[in-house]
Every structure is written in structure tokens, then in C-alpha cells.
A and B are shown apart, each in its own frame.
Chain A
Amino acid sequence: MKYVDEYRDQKVAEKLAVEIRRAATRHWTIMEVCGGQTHSIVKYGIDYLLPKEVELVHGPGCPVCVTPLEMIDRAHAIARRPDVIFCSFGDMLRVPGSTGDLFQVKAAGGDVRIVYSPLDCLKIAAANPKKTVVFFAIGFETTAPANAMAVWQAKAQSIRNFSVLVSHVLVPPAIAAILESPDNRVQAFLGPGHVCAVMGHREYAPIGSRYRTPIVITGFEPLDLLEGTLMAVRQLEQGRSEVENQYARAVDPEGNIGAQQMVRRMFEVCDRAWRGIGIIPQSGYRLKDEFCDYDAEQIFELGLIHAPEPAICISGQVLTGLRKPHDCPAFAKGCTPQNPLGATMVSAEGACAAYYNYGRHLVALPSGRERA
């Protein structure tokens, strides 16, 4: 595939790894923020190509992982209702709430459907006028324009049996929260490529300069991640703290203005709870009050749901780069993708799940740095 295969070239990957080895004179800790990047790093074994001086840690970039337990329970409560068709992206279906997951809700008779786009829900709503269709609208800023358009279209087409359960999260406040923490080890970030394709990267400059941290907006293919890491290492070595755009083929500094306008029209910024981290102020989106007819949280009065997390789970520390999955006593023992205890094991892109699925609990692989 054009614009994909070129960024998986092995010769170039090796050369980039050599360049990184050359550039790094001391230990640096770099965090990648987006779940898709975590997945790519583990899938291609990219961190094994890096010198031991350069440590990649994984950030809270998986929206499935950071959706709070209370919100999952809310979703399940709605999905159980006989008058509801509950629609969600596939990766949310296996996330366990306090009492099972959406597959179990489905097996017990709930109408739960996987969709590939929020627009699919509008078709389902039109085809099922006697039911109410609820879409689980989770995601970062990348998905917000799609969800915004779905609600906008629903209103424009007078579709009355559709609503969204919103749990959007924003990246810049999360990065700032990580940098604020007194335990923080992260010295540079690989910024989220697709989030920035929508939002641009202007909002990262103040964060970078305030905390004197380089931020390199990076893509998802192996060569993107390696090039982004190289750019970050060079900044760190040179004492710079700028925002650089490795993913310039898809990211414009101003982002996608049309998408941003639609998002601003439909959503407003609010405080959000991040599973494993806690409440980060002004770190989420909610539907504006004028669209309350489409806001599932308002339509379905569910009362207060309190959902305690298992105490053993250290996902908060994994999400903020303080610990690695195999540092957790429960990793691959009590906590597995079949039986996840916390945020970072529930989705394929969570760091713990990625490590588990790619077998890192099974053996220590020879690293590129040792082979070279």
C-alpha cells in the first residue's frame, strides 16, 4: 500500500537505529502517547532495535483503557435495557465493568452491536424506529469530529431515537498532568499523530516550553516511530525543547479547521476522570446542553455509580510511564487479557495487553543492542 509500505523498510529501520545509537550519549526516557503507537512499537519490536540508553515508556494513549469503570458500568446498564440497541467500537466489547462485559450483556439478551463508524448508528436508528440507539462515544480528539458529525446529522435529519454516551479525553492536559507529577521520569514525548492531524500541534508548544520538554509529533509506522525517536534524542542531546513535526505528511500545524469547528459546535471542554489516573481538570469533552436530547447521560437517569478498582492494579503508574507492565506482581498471573484487573490490560492497545499479547511475559528476547 502506498504511503504505508515505504515506512516499513528494514534497511532504513536499521540505519535509523544506528543513527539513534550514535546520537545518544546518555540515558533518555521518551514516552509515546498514542495507543496505536504503543501497539506498533510492540508489534514490530521497535524498542528492541534501540540502544539501552534510549528507553521508550508507554503513555495513557488508549481511550479504551482510560475510560473510567463508572462509565463502563453506565454503558452496561444502558445496554441491558430491552428498548435499547447499544452500539460500540469492537475493542470496547470485552472491557469488563463491575459485573462482566458487553459480550455477557449480549448473551443475556441485550442488543449489542459492533459498528465501524458512528454514522452506522444513524442507519440502525432509522431502521429500528421503536428502539433507541445509543452509541458509546469514547476516544481522543481524533474521534470527536466523527461523533460530532453523527449528532449533527441526527439533529438535521430529525432522528429522535439516537443518543451518545460521551467519554472523550484530550491529550494535552494528560501530558501536562504527567509532567506535573513529582515522580515524573519522562524527558520527551512522541506526540499523537492522528490527534494532531485533527487538532494541529499549536497547543503543545506552551507545554513543551513550560516544562522544557521536547515534543515530536510522530506517525505510526515503524520508520515514523524510529525517526521521531531520533528527532527527540537529538533535541535532548542539544538541550532543545521544541515541538517538531515528524508526521508532516498528514499533520498540518493548524490541523483540520473544519473538523475543529464541528467539534467546537457540538462539544465543550469539561473535567474527566481517567481510569488509573484520576480526575484531570478540563481534560474531556461533553455534549453542549443545547444537544441534551442526544446525550445518553442525561436521557438515562442512572444515578451515582461507584465502582472501586482492584487494589493490586498499578495501571496508573504504567499509564504515566513510572512502571512497566512486568513490574506488576499480577502481570500475566492474576491479570491477563481474559481476566483484566485494570485499565492497561483491557484493550489490545493498553501497554499491559500489548506486552502480554506479544509474549513479553514468556521470554526475554535478544535485543538489537546486544546483537549489533
Chain B
Amino acid sequence: MRMGRIDYGGITRDACLEYIPDPQIGDYVMVHVGFAISKVDPEEAARTYRYLSELGELDELTMPETT
């Protein structure tokens, strides 16, 4: 059973990686009860982050319409 070492920002614990196809060092994963169940998609995360940052930066008057 494939296990991996996960860094939670200073604390490391092992988790089972059987449900992550092709895991790479440096990947971010969601871990639930000792199992990685999903990889964070950095592009999707960046897209969301960009949208949220823009939202945070913009003045109320120039808020764009978003779909």
C-alpha cells in the first residue's frame, strides 16, 4: 500500500496515497482520516485566487460583472 509523508505546515504525518494517481513530491493534497483523496489543482486554485484577489482589491464603484 503506497504511503507518503505529508507536510501540514510544520507538522508531518504519513497518509495513504493509493487513491492519488502519480503522486509527486510537492503536490498538495486533501487528506481525510489518513488518506489523500484529492490533489489540489494549482491552476484552478490560481484561478479562484485571482478572482478573489481582484474582488478584494477593487473599489466598490468599479466592481466588474462576473458570470
Q: Which residues of A contact B (CB under 8 A)?
A: 1-3, 6-7, 9, 11-12, 15-16, 18-19, 89, 116-120, 139, 142-143, 145-146, 149, 153, 194, 197-198, 223, 227, 248-252, 256, 258-259, 262
Contact of B48 among A116, A119, A153, A248 (CB under 8 A): A248
Chain B residues, CB < 8 A from A118: 33-34
Give bound CA distance, A212 to B7, whole Å.
Answer: 42
Contact with A along B17-36 (1 / 0, CB 8 A): 01101000000101011110
Contacts A248-B48, A249-B45 given: A197-B38 contact, CB under 8 Å? Answer: yes
CB distance from B20 to the nearest CB of A (A): 8
Inter-chain CB contacts under 8 Å: number: 95
**B-side interface residues, number (CB < 8 Å):** 30
Chain B residues, CB < 8 A from A19: 55, 63
Chain A residues, CB < 8 A from B60: 18
CB distance from A360 to the nearest CB of B (A): 28
Closest 7 CB pairs of A and B: A117-B34, A197-B38, A12-B56, A249-B45, A1-B9, A249-B44, A11-B56
Contact of B56 among A15, A139, A227, A252 (CB under 8 A): A15
Give bound CA distance, A139 to B19, whole Å.
Answer: 18
Residue of A nearest to B10 (CB): A1
Chain B residues, CB < 8 A from A9: 52, 56
Q: Assess whether A117 is in contact with B33, with CB atoms less than 8 Å apart.
A: yes
Q: Assess whether A142 is in contact with B32, with CB atoms less than 8 Å apart.
A: yes
Give bound CA distance, A367 to B49, whole Å.
Answer: 27
Contacts A12-B53, A12-B55 given: A251-B38 contact, CB under 8 Å? Answer: yes
Give bound CA distance, A289 to B33, whole Å.
Answer: 25
Q: Assess whether B52 is in contact with A256, with CB atoms less than 8 Å apart.
A: no
Q: Assess whether B35 is in contact with A117, with CB atoms less than 8 Å apart.
A: yes
CB distance from A263 to the nearest CB of B (A): 10
CB distance from A24 to the nearest CB of B (A): 16
Give bound CA distance, A1 to B60, whole Å.
Answer: 29
Q: Assess whether B35 is in contact with A197, with CB atoms less than 8 Å apart.
A: no
CB distance from A23 to the nearest CB of B (A): 11
Contact with A along B39-65 (1 / 0, CB 8 A): 011101101110011011010100100
Chain A residues, CB < 8 A from B45: 3, 249
Give bound CA distance, A153 to B18, whole Å.
Answer: 12
CB distance from A71 to the nearest CB of B (A): 19
A/B interface sample: 9 pairs, CB < 8 A: A1-B8, A2-B9, A2-B28, A9-B56, A116-B33, A119-B34, A120-B34, A250-B30, A250-B40
Residue of A nearest to B32 (CB): A142
